[in-house]
């Protein structure tokens, strides 16, 4: 198989190593440029903040946002208060990046269920958030449980954050 003439001419001019580096730089630059453009176009910077309206940039979250507006936590907690780790900014933004990636992938490919389900990892974060904010109430409940047995706040209080 012979190479196109332009390839041979270019390879001689910049050398084979230079051609490989140039091609790699072009591909990486294109991917990075498209990523930055998409992030900016989609309002990605808003996800670094704490505004609950950010969550409805994805139309799939309209029901959750509407439920939050009707819920008892509207005036005291935003999405991040319940769905992001407390006290560790690195863990918080790693979690937000992980969720952002999966949310955008699912939304872009339209591969999300009509009834959105919380992932086990995020459910655990939400459970910790309940205990974090309601320490006074939960301490007495945890005393009555056997060691290592975790009671689920969400199991009984399913519509606290997102009223149906």
Which are the contacts of 87, defined by CB distance < 8 A and separation ≥ 6?
Answer: none
| pTM for the predicted model, two decimal places | 0.70
User: What is the C-alpha separation between 125 and 19, in angstroms, rounded?
Assistant: 48
* pLDDT at position 92: 92
Give tens-digit pLDDT for 43-100: 878 888 888 888 887 777 888 888 889 888 888 999 899 999 988 999 999 998 898 8
62 annotated binding-site participant: no
The answer on whether 156 is annotated among ligand-binding residues is: yes
To the question of whether residue 79 is assigned a binding role by annotation, the answer is yes
The annotation status of 55 as a binding-site residue, yes or no, is: yes
61 is in an annotated binding site: yes
Contacts of 92 by beta carbon, 8 Å cutoff, 6+ apart: 80, 84, 85, 86
């Amino acid at each position: 198989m012979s190479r196109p003439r332009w390839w041979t001419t270019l390879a001689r001019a910049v050398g084979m190593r230079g051609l490989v580096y140039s091609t790699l730089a072009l591909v990486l630059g294109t991917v990075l440029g498209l990523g930055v453009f998409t992030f900016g176009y989609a309002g990605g910077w808003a996800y670094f903040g704490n505004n609950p309206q950010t969550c409805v940039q994805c139309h799939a979250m309209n029901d959750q946002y509407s439920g939050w507006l009707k819920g008892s936590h509207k005036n005291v907690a935003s999405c991040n208060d319940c769905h992001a780790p407390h006290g560790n900014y690195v863990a918080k933004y790693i979690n937000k990046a992980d969720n952002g990636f999966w949310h955008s992938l699912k939304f872009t490919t339209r591969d999300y269920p009509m009834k959105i389900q919380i992932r086990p990892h995020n459910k655990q974060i939400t459970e910790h958030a309940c205990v974090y904010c309601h320490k006074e109430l939960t301490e007495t409940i945890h005393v009555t449980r056997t060691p290592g047995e975790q009671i689920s706040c969400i199991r009984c209080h399913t519509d606290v954050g997102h009223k149906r």
